Structures are given as structure tokens and as C-alpha cells.
Structure 1
Amino acid sequence: MVNLVLIGAPGAGKGTQAERLVRDYGLLHISTGDLLRQAIAAGTPLGLKAKEAVGSGELVPDKVVIGLVEETLADKAEAQGFILDGFPRTLEQARALEGLLRKIAEPLHHVVVFDIPIGELAERIAKRVAQSSSSGVQVRSDDNTEALRRRIDDFTRATVVLLPFYEERQVYQGC
């Protein structure tokens, strides 16, 4: 069993690698982006709070994201471990995750950080948009140049404090 956190900017490959790990090792994949989209679509109380933030162009508040992850981990199926994709993104979220894992008696084994050059991230997002468009899948509203720049800036500002946090805990893995 292994419990992982995948951290990386939009388009870094977290979802792609998570899918492979799920397929190869049967891990439970918890994507905060997917959780947020599902909660918004379902109109749950946390989803309504997330929708308000997304609609105003703001980051979803930590308490909302933490609540969604907590609900999911508390209800998790018997799996061979889990992958958190896109969570935590802030120090508050990292501390909340530590508390939650203590509460459910689960260790965090590794935090993998994807360090991809910005130019390559833009190419990957453009490719994702093209693939979605050509296959008839709805393009994500945040898959555009301006949103990508903002998301990368937000990611960089918020997550820079996570590296020393996880280095101290000896679970950080860069790639």
C-alpha cells in the first residue's frame, strides 16, 4: 500500500500519471479538480461555495477543498492506497491533510512534485484543448492562455511553501 500526493502546475501530468498508477496498482485517485466539478454540478453546500469562488475568478477557499477531500477520504473504498492529485496546494491544506491522515490512521508515503517548464505546460494545455475539441468533449473553461498564466502564478505562489514542509517530513520527491 502506498499513499501519494502529486503536486504540479496545470498541465504537468498529474492526472496522466495518476491514471497509470490506478491502472497498475489499484490506488484510489482523488483529484480535487474532479471533486470540485462534481460538487458544483451536484449543487452540494460545498459545491455552491466552490461555484461562487470559481465564478468570481478566485481560488476555491481552503476550507471548501479540505472539506471535499475529507469527505472522500473518510468514505474511501478499501483500496491499496490513494493518490491525491492537486491537493494540498497551500500550507493550510497540508496541515489539514496531516490531521486528517492521523485521524484515519493513514500515513503519507511520498509527495511527488512535477517541475515542468512553463512553455511546455502551455503546449500540453493547447494539445489537451485540441484533443477535447476533436473528440467532441467539452473543453474546460480554464484551458486557455490567460487562465493558464493565472493558474500557474497561483500555483507557484501557493505551493512554494509546501516543498520545505514536506522536505522536513522526508516524503518529498522531485521529478
Structure 2
Amino acid sequence: MNIVLFGPPGAGKGTQAKELAKHYNISHISTGDILRANVRDGTKLGIKAKEYMNKGELVPDEVLIGIIRDRIQQPDCKHGYMLDGYPRTIPQAEALKDILGKVGKPIDVVLNIEVPDKELIGRLSGRRMCSCGESYHMMFNPPLKQGICDVCGGKLYQRDDDKEEVVSQRLEVYAAKTKPLIDYYSNINILVNIDGTGTVESVFRQICDVLDSHQK
């Protein structure tokens, strides 16, 4: 099964994609994870991408399209994939359609996780990260000692793109450039809306119900 997981920043796409990929034995492709790895490693791609990410702006299409083209053709995508964080604009959706058409891997369903902006701002601005890879949330999953990682004892930090003013900008960019994809995929009858305001488990169950019905 070939899936696109869609929704605003902080909607829980990454968390759901990882669990769904394991549950259905398909590959999870996260452009966000790939970009952040490049930023962390200081690659040319990472340096270029960081300029946009820190402003809450979308990384240019020419950077992302090449990543997806290479990734979707790797052997682990033979039996299916879940795209998380791509596409985000109509031009990206059109480019993706062309890429998938050429490799014979069309999208089966697009899942749109919906969460109100007020809740998204609370989710994202409360997130804290550690250099070891652990993440926390000041409200939902705080560390045992404020500002210190439970795993390695490192100092926690807030990503520039998680600061409230940048989060608000990211949501404005989303509203202007990404929400039109709802109509785009709805018009070709592969979009399903998911209520993302519940627990991780309840959202997961909703999605599984949808995917299981598509497999019948």
C-alpha cells in the first residue's frame, strides 16, 4: 500500500507514520528527518535547508524532489511506502505524480490529520530536544529534571523552528501553500480526513480502520 500522511506541523504525522510503517510493514519516508539529519551533519543540503527551516518557510522544491526521487526507488519501498512531510504544495504534488507514474508506484490513499492551530502551537512550542536524539514536551512528556535529558544527562534545547513566533509563521505558510492539497486530493477521491485531537492510540486506530477498509 502506498500512502501519503498529510497535516499541519505538529499534527503527529511522524509519530503515526513510524507506527503505521511497522504495523503494515511498509517503508516510512520522512523528508523532515532527512533534512534534519543533513542540518545536524552540516552538509551543503543541510546548510541550505536550515536557512528556510529557521524562518518557518518551506524548503525549495528542487531540494526535496531529488530526495524523494532517489528514496522511492530504493529496494525497501518495493512493497509500499508512507510519505510523511511531502508533498506540501500543488507543484510538489504534480511532480510527485510524475515521479510515481514513472516508477509504477501510485498513491493509494492520502490521510489528512486535522488539528486546530491553537493546539498545534501548544504542542510545538512546548517541545524540547537533546543532542542524543531524545525529545520531550514540557506539558505532555517533561524530563525528570527540568532542562536535562533523562537518558544522557545532556542539556535540552528548543529548536529554532519550534519557537512560538516561528510556529505561527509555519502555520501561516501551511494555510497559504499546503491546504489547497486537500482539494487537490479530494478531487481525485483518495483523501480521507482524520481527527488528530485525540490520543496517539485513538488516532492510530482511526487510521488503521481506514487503511484496513482500503485493503479489502
> When the two structures are superposed, what TM-score results if normalisation uses the length of structure 2?
0.71
- Matched to 1:80, the amino acid is H
Distance 1:82 1:62 in 2: 20
Residues 124-165 of structure 1, C-alpha deviation per residue, up to 9 Å, x if partnerless? 224433347553565432112111101111111111221121
CA-based RMSD: 2.2
Counterpart residue number, 1:36: 35
Counterpart residue number, 2:26: 27
* Residues 48, 134 of structure 1: alpha-carbon distance in 2 compared, 3 angstrom cutoff: closer
- Retained in 2: the 8 A contact 1:46–1:67? no
Q: How many residues align?
A: 174
Unaligned runs of 5+ in 2: 129-137, 195-216
1:20, distance to aligned residue in structure 2 (A): 1.3
Distance 1:117 1:88 in 2: 20
- Matched to 2:19, the amino acid is R
Moved more, 156-165 or 127-136: 127-136
1:58, distance to aligned residue in structure 2 (A): 3.8
Kindly report which structure 2 residues correspond to 1:125-136, keeping only aligned pairs within 5 A, or say none: 125-129=124-128, 130=138, 131=142, 133-135=147-149, 136=154
Kindly report which structure 2 residues correspond to 1:163-174, keeping only aligned pairs within 5 A, or say none: 163-174=182-193
Corresponding position: 1:140 with 2:142:
no
Distance 2:106 2:52 in 1: 31
Kindly report which structure 2 residues correspond to 1:5-154, keeping only aligned pairs within 5 A, or say none: 5-54=4-53, 58-129=57-128, 130=138, 131=142, 133-135=147-149, 136=154, 138-154=157-173
Distance 1:134 1:108 in 2: 42
> When the two structures are superposed, what TM-score results if normalisation uses the length of structure 1?
0.86
Structure number with the bigger relative contact order (C-alpha 8 A, sep ≥ 6) is 1
Distance 1:8 1:62 in 2: 18
Q: Which has the higher helix share?
A: 1
* Residues 43, 73 of structure 1: alpha-carbon distance in 2 compared, 3 angstrom cutoff: farther
Moved more, 134-143 or 88-97: 134-143
Distance 1:56 1:146 in 2: 10
Q: Percent identity?
A: 40
1:56, distance to aligned residue in structure 2 (A): 6.0
Unaligned runs of 5+ in 1: none
Corresponding position: 1:160 with 2:179:
yes
Residues 84-120 of structure 1, C-alpha deviation per residue, up to 9 Å, x if partnerless? 1111000110001101101110120111111101121
Runs of 4+ in 1 over 6 A off after TM superposition: none
